[in-house]
Amino acid sequence: VGERNFTIHFQNWGALLFPNPVSSWGAELADSTDNNNLPGFKNAEVDALCRKYDLTGNREEQKKIIRRIDELIFRAHPYALAWGSSFSRVLYHNKFGHPEKYFSKIGDYRDMKTMWWLDPQKDKALAEALEKDGKLPVGETDQRPWD
């Protein structure tokens, strides 16, 4: 990765308390290896904004500069944006019985195959609601089995 010998690569970055845009987007890093400018991004306006950012002591002005840098980088698309989370979203027809907390403390959504069961009463209520274009009651939607 550091030598840019890849077609596609998935990367996560953390954030600094005070951003340092030149360390990721400065053109002087674009042609060298083993740095954070993985796509080899070069943009004269971003470089000028990085210099301005470094000389600006006003936090509000620095925020404006960073936002403009972000805008320029986003428009250039040097990388594809992705998002991850530490939780799972589950969408299902309400026809299953399940433990009170839905999943185990150490598992995830895949537990459904072994911990949930078809509830005949819920299945019947769902069929009737679908037939009549009706609604079923909504139970607790946020589950935290580790609590």
Give tens-digit pLDDT for 10-63.
887 777 888 899 999 999 999 999 999 999 999 999 999 999 999 999 999 999
User: Who wins on pLDDT, 88 or 25?
Assistant: 25
Please give the Cα distance from 89 to 25 (Å, whole number): 34
Q: Report the candidate in 114, 115, 138, 112 with the shortest Cα–Cα distance to residue 125.
A: 138
Q: Let me know: does 96 contact 136? Beta carbons within 8 Å.
A: no
Residue type, 64: K
CA distance 88 to 102: 12
| Sequence spans of domains, the chain | 1-84, 87-147
Provide, rounded to the nearest whole percent, the portion of the chain with pLDDT above 70. 100
Look-up of token digits 């470089």:
47
Q: Return all residues near 76 (Cβ < 8 A) that are at least 6 apart.
A: 41, 43
Cα–Cα nearest to 13, from 45, 33, 34, 38: 38
Q: What is the pLDDT of residues 55-75, one digit of tens each?
A: 999 999 999 999 999 999 999
Amino acid (1-letter code) at residue 48: A
pLDDT of residue 103: 81
Fold for the domain defined by 1-84 = Dipeptide-binding Protein; domain 3 (3.10.105)
